[in-house]
Structure 1
């Protein structure tokens, strides 16, 4: 039977989720003060198998103490005393790993002052153990959202946010590039988001100014820039393997295609020189560039699978009917093009898998990201597809798990602060029924999620998901 302390804590957590549900239904909520969780409570995971992700080791029979939202102690159960009054979570035979990071996420903004979709999206990430997200299309609202999260006034993964988009329309020349980079650094964005279309001169000024003011940049590779020049400019991360595929074709081939390379280089596939893969991988390593593959974007959005069938997948019930319709239309438009065919798509996936393996073999660090919510990529749920796509490319379970736990903290220069289970780290934890190092699917056998010391048992998460599904079924 649960202790009275545990019952009280569960009631507090249920109340917090109840408030999120009310917000999603546009019902006025009680005061913020009543909604606050109690991050000072102490938890003890007892007799648990720990995957600290500081390496590839597994420690059995451990006790992990959480206090004030951080890991206070970890060690063999016989050596760790459970503090009086702690909420004890008996975890014999279970596995504890750090929470996951979605490193190519999108966060909505409130519509006419209504932040219901924002809260719902953040919960969907949390519901699958995503305790850190890197927002890839920033907005001034996201700077305020970060403050709310840091103050624990909203239950959410921690957020790192990009600037608003730097693209061919917003950055048409070098002068505007310098102005916007300087402004976004002063505004407090974590990094710059690069989109296609930036002219080469403006791109070079953007990169130069970013180095001067001390802000990194990530995202797409504008076609006028090209992958080789982009790598030498030292992106923090290149997402989607953008520019790599088209970089395997020669300039002569590009001209043959009238510089229309298609969806992420799809039209260049017949001209790709696979011998260049190792060269690009080494150049990536030499310039310290990280990679967010978003492989599931191509195995799902750009696959020949019937959009109507994908719209009926179980996780789609958590998205609105309007969103599902838009996703069906977007996918149909992509694969309905006259030049699209399944054989060329398969060759595209094969080349991307070769690139991903070569990058890993060159010791280029990988980051887990799926571009959610994007076409048929539901927040949180899409990371399962992404992990499977990485595994299909020949990446090991350990490397995949590191890409979504310890690597993001390293990427942000916060190693030891989150993404690992060690003393002093944020208590972002997943309690699993099996070992994901042996069976990657066990990552999703979650019996509970802890985010910064807030414990969310599976039954509570499932109840909230049922409410979201019911709201979108109307």
Structure 2
């Protein structure tokens, strides 16, 4: 009996050894046969910028394994993507996006969502919510549509939509019950109404984010616990000493009118307040380097990415920029000073604040969805961040913001397969983020050819008919 048991044990060990020697188990081979594998790709560790050459196995929308050069026979039936000489990094989050208020199957919706994906934006935080977006979010989460992952705000809470304490209680409670991810605050809210919004939001458990009303002020806003302050709104006004006796409602475009009165020595205080109260900031700096810049509206309108927007949209953008920057109250020298203060704020909030999130406010004036994230990355580098730090604002930080660390925003086993494949290293030049070789959105591969074909079809739709 003893010899029989030993013989069986020896056979089992031998069989197991031979199975291992012959490669993967039948179950693992079956997984590989349905997988997408990116071979011999340079993986960028978004935490520290280190690079390692690996094979990435993707199955069921997730990163199954990251392995050194497996034999090709292990996945001979799977979809292979040659990553030789290319670079892989996590998909980006656009943390100040706008989504059309149309049905999920409307062509405009499909086109907008694809524009985000075309530049590697695989997560969006919609900043002007609508009931239709709740259905859209679920369809995206269930992979029923081709779309970035979606988080959506409530409809706007502003000085016109919420004018009383009673309205604040009613709307905040209703939006939380409806299932919106957070409340969107716009300007014009009176202080006592704002305080009720905050009180009710904390009671029912829904975050709030967005603009800072002039009657609230940045210090009170930070102490109230915004999830994020967008556009760096209210910060420049917060740099004006009380001794200046300014009327806060005369601040102009995000504090532009107070540029010469701002005291940069007060920046550290505001950054530390943001840190103490755990308030993220979304700069949307490209809004100010494009829409609010002295650059020509006509030249911006001729940029290649504008071909993907309807002609009437471009015309509206041109008029909007002219109206904002061609008046007597606007001059290029003051804009330079204004932009310099914003850059100082960005660096202080990055180094001494709670953290920054990547967002461009697309589609806004001359900010085409997807493409505008490239302008925002460049703006962050121009403000003093390294390319790696700029990329972290759109990867690691959004995952932390949404309490989804390990689920997206980095390349690791078990994470969602939201990835960008690049021809060149973006850590050497942030411009290398442009024109990705391909994008994976929850495991679905969009090759460069596929992206180009869809973009061409969109451009043809808006092309003027030839007579």
Is the structural similarity TM-score above 0.5? yes
Deviations 1:83-135 (A, max 9, x none): 35211112111111111110000000227x97111111001001111110000
State whether structure 2 residue 68 is matched by structure 1 residue 73: no
Distance 1:82 1:130, change over 3 A: farther
- How far is 1:254 from its partner? 5.1
- How far is 1:41 from its partner? 3.8
In 2, the alpha carbon distance for the partners of 1:296 and 1:420 equals 25
Partner of 2:94: 102
Structure with bigger gyration radius: 2
- Counterpart contact for 1:254–1:268, Cα < 8 Å: no
- How far is 1:389 from its partner? 0.9
Partner of 1:149: 140
In the alignment, which of 131, 134, 140 is matched to residue 140 of structure 1?
Answer: 131
Partner of 1:342: 332
- How far is 1:445 from its partner? 4.3
Distance 1:296 1:258, change over 3 A: closer
In 2, the alpha carbon distance for the partners of 1:450 and 1:438 equals 23
- Counterpart contact for 2:408–2:416, Cα < 8 Å: yes
Counterparts of residues 190-205 of structure 1 (less than 5 Å): 190-205=181-196
- Counterpart contact for 1:227–1:244, Cα < 8 Å: yes
Deviations 1:298-338 (A, max 9, x none): 01000011111111111101000000000001000000221
State whether structure 2 residue 436 is matched by structure 1 residue 446: yes
Helix, strand or coil at the partner of 1:369:
coil
Distance 1:81 1:251, change over 3 A: farther
- How far is 1:75 from its partner? 2.4
Q: Size of the alignment, in residue pairs?
A: 432
- Counterpart contact for 2:53–2:68, Cα < 8 Å: yes
In 2, the alpha carbon distance for the partners of 1:117 and 1:57 equals 37
Helix, strand or coil at the partner of 1:46:
strand
State whether structure 2 residue 245 is matched by structure 1 residue 250: no
In the alignment, which of 344, 368, 372 is matched to residue 382 of structure 1?
Answer: 372
Runs (4+) off by over 6 Å: none
Counterparts of residues 459-470 of structure 1 (less than 5 Å): 459-470=449-460
- How far is 1:78 from its partner? 4.8
- How far is 1:79 from its partner? 8.9
In the alignment, which of 431, 448, 463 is matched to residue 458 of structure 1?
Answer: 448
In 2, the alpha carbon distance for the partners of 1:411 and 1:238 equals 13
Partner of 1:61: 53
- Structure 2 gaps, min length 5: 1-32
Helix, strand or coil at the partner of 2:437:
strand
Q: Please provide the CA RMSD for this pair.
A: 1.6
Partner of 1:303: 293
Counterparts of residues 355-374 of structure 1 (less than 5 Å): 355-374=345-364
Partner of 2:317: 327
Helix, strand or coil at the partner of 1:446:
coil
Give me the TM-score of the superposition, normalised by structure 2.
Answer: 0.90
In 1, the alpha carbon distance for the partners of 2:105 and 2:420 equals 31
- How far is 1:345 from its partner? 0.6
- How far is 1:226 from its partner? 0.1
Deviations 1:133-163 (A, max 9, x none): 0000000000010111122221010100000
Partner of 1:47: 40
- How far is 1:405 from its partner? 1.1
Partner of 1:90: 82
In 2, the alpha carbon distance for the partners of 1:210 and 1:299 equals 34
In 1, the alpha carbon distance for the partners of 2:325 and 2:216 equals 27
State whether structure 2 residue 272 is matched by structure 1 residue 282: yes
Distance 1:429 1:334, change over 3 A: same
Partner of 1:264: 254
Counterparts of residues 158-197 of structure 1 (less than 5 Å): 158-197=149-188
In the alignment, which of 219, 226, 241 is matched to residue 232 of structure 2?
Answer: 241
In the alignment, which of 409, 420, 426 is matched to residue 419 of structure 1?
Answer: 409
- Structure 1 gaps, min length 5: 1-39
State whether structure 2 residue 198 is matched by structure 1 residue 207: yes
State whether structure 2 residue 462 is matched by structure 1 residue 472: yes
Partner of 2:221: 230
Partner of 1:128: 119
Give me the TM-score of the superposition, normalised by structure 1.
Answer: 0.88
- How far is 1:57 from its partner? 3.6
